[in-house]
Chain A
């Protein structure tokens, strides 16, 4: 065949299918590209990948070249004809290079290049439901290594890696696994907590939608390590796309012998099923989650017994967050030391941080522990979306503290955050500009707790309702100083008397708002309120 006869291979174009990309019109963009290519008689191969996590640039279109993928973003359907006019399928051509949406090589974008993506190594790169793609990008290498080790040795690798529960509680994963391993039982379970309900967090969703096999592999390794043959992914009902992707991936893994009986022709068996949650935030608490999986109301259980000893259906159960489990494959693939070499202090490895709220460049940033909040908010985040000063930041979901600017230099580290009475939680960072009313946010914290309380313990069930009322009185200026004291007393009761973190941590956003933003809790129209109160007193 002479050179001129070589058939030009169709160009690969990537358009994300991650639900945040879809929420900004990625399906319409994909369709427009297919139609335009068809109309021009150009053959293309369009792949629906996950998102690279630069959400301010979605829909984020990439074109494959020999040098790597070239990004064009954000691409709306109206931009598509101009991209073809500029010969964007040949992105290094002079015309394509000059197109205003051409961002150059994706891998060279500073925002991505300065990250340390371990758990998210494949996210945005592969087709999420292609097992071949997963295998071609180091997939199932962790399992291959695990199959050569004893259960105890796998647990030791996980313990030595320093991995701590990424759901928020930061309990050492290896120790949890060891308890399950050491508890004899004819049946054990691996439960993945995918009830990611914290506002400002979406890393679990991204893993499940954009690289589901890594979670499946992590759970399989967990099963082999502790001797569990059944796994459940407890998935929040608000994630319908993740449900579809997970079920498709589980089917493919089964067919390829990575799930079911005799995994990879060994004696190990592991079955996996997705179970849908039903919109109860409290079911993110592990014992409430187990009740729900058993088909009951999601009431929190007393501990002990620990779920590791008496968990699902009374059997020893590993309950881990999506990110913890999705991090297991790389630890087993590259070794405990490789992972432990990242991070600071007792916070080893990396944390997938999610920038959210009022932030210009919101997205997924995976970094070794130790970066400061300020670097994330300004270097990665680019400041607020509205262009106003960032006044408050809530880290770690609705039960996390609000931090003022004076605390922005705190490094992201479980212990460092503990020192300032804050939590890292699941790594969600929600920014607010200076128009935020912190009394309203404190009120919302109580309100949310009241809506989501399971009702089992009094401090949470009643305290949350009283909290809303007390904040309303503070805002109205009714017996202001008395009620300011009362809200602290109430918070103290909830902190110390609640059965789980829902009631026990609602005081974090409330008290941090009170402590750092006291000016927002002064009586509204205070002069007028005082006059009215004086009038009332006189009349009485």
Chain B
């Protein structure tokens, strides 16, 4: 069913005041930039981990846009998430260069070992799994990215170690 955006729904979303204050501060910081929306959405996601729907209305007011336009931009880009992610984000490259080096088997193994599919988070909240289409590490395929670090020439064992290390950190 299509999700209807109304102010009621936006207000209904529970966000603590600390978060909302932070969002308002970020809006104030960005609203006068030319083409402010993407930098603003990035800053919100960098700051609180995702782009909550509750920020659509204040953003739309500050940037003179409709709520629908803000929603349209958030949902157009793969990078922006509308729900909180796990503590770590594991991106697995699905592009051709990595496929040429066996990434399909690696993907399948990661999914089965984590027990989740793409765009899902493990039950312990440690890892969110995302596909990615090229990390620019094509000379060292197959590649994955854990948070902001890229790892090359991956195999099942190396990925398992990476996941183990991530789980051990907050």
Binding site for B on A (CB under 8 A): 19-20, 22-24, 55-56, 58, 196-202, 204-205, 236-241, 275-281, 292-298, 313, 354-358, 362-364, 385, 394, 398, 428, 430-433, 436, 441, 444, 448, 451-452, 454
* Interface pairs (12), CB distance under 8 Å: A23-B149, A197-B134, A205-B136, A277-B38, A278-B77, A279-B78, A357-B100, A358-B141, A362-B139, A398-B95, A398-B133, A430-B96
A contact face: mostly helix, strand, loop, or mixed: mixed
| A363 surroundings in chain B (CB, below 8 A) | 139
- Whether A275 contacts B35 in the complex (CB less than 8 A), given A240-B148, A357-B97, A432-B100, comes out as yes
Q: Which of B2-10, B16-24, B109-117, B150-158 contacts A (4 or more CB under 8 A)?
A: B150-158
- Whether A55 contacts B139 in the complex (CB less than 8 A), given A200-B96, A356-B97, A398-B95, comes out as yes
Q: Is B86 an interface residue (CB 8 A)?
A: no
A23-B152, A199-B96, A313-B34 known; 4 new pairs, CB 8 Å cut-off, are A24-B140, A279-B132, A358-B100, A451-B133
Nearest CB of chain A from residue B30's CB, rounded to whole Å: 10
| B35 surroundings in chain A (CB, below 8 A) | 275, 293-295, 313
Q: Is B90 an interface residue (CB 8 A)?
A: no
| B80 surroundings in chain A (CB, below 8 A) | 278
**Is A201 a contact partner of B136 (Cβ separation < 8 A)?**
yes
Complex Cα–Cα for A58 and B137 (A): 12
Complex Cα–Cα for A295 and B78 (A): 15
**Is A298 a contact partner of B138 (Cβ separation < 8 A)?**
no
**Is A357 a contact partner of B141 (Cβ separation < 8 A)?**
yes
Tell me which of B135, B138, B149 has the highest count of chain A C-beta atoms within 10 A of its own C-beta: B138
Nearest CB of chain A from residue B151's CB, rounded to whole Å: 5
Inter-chain CB contacts under 8 Å: number: 157
Nearest CB of chain A from residue B73's CB, rounded to whole Å: 6
Complex Cα–Cα for A275 and B79 (A): 14
Complex Cα–Cα for A358 and B36 (A): 41
Nearest CB of chain A from residue B11's CB, rounded to whole Å: 25
**Is A237 a contact partner of B79 (Cβ separation < 8 A)?**
yes
**Is A354 a contact partner of B139 (Cβ separation < 8 A)?**
yes
B86-108: CB near A (< 8 Å → 1, else 0) gives 00000100011111110000000
**Is B78 a contact partner of A202 (Cβ separation < 8 A)?**
no
Complex Cα–Cα for A451 and B118 (A): 14
**Is B139 a contact partner of A199 (Cβ separation < 8 A)?**
no
**Is B140 a contact partner of A23 (Cβ separation < 8 A)?**
yes
| A362 surroundings in chain B (CB, below 8 A) | 138-141
Nearest CB of chain B from residue A424's CB, rounded to whole Å: 16
Complex Cα–Cα for A200 and B98 (A): 9
**Is A431 a contact partner of B39 (Cβ separation < 8 A)?**
no
- Whether A278 contacts B100 in the complex (CB less than 8 A), given A293-B35, A355-B139, comes out as no
> Which are the 7 A-B pairs with shortest beta-carbon distances?
A295-B37, A199-B95, A278-B77, A356-B138, A357-B100, A279-B79, A55-B139
Task: Name the one of A56, A236, A430, A436 contacting B138, with C-beta atoms under 8 angstroms.
Answer: A430
**Is B134 a contact partner of A198 (Cβ separation < 8 A)?**
yes
| B78 surroundings in chain A (CB, below 8 A) | 278-280
Nearest CB of chain B from residue A147's CB, rounded to whole Å: 27
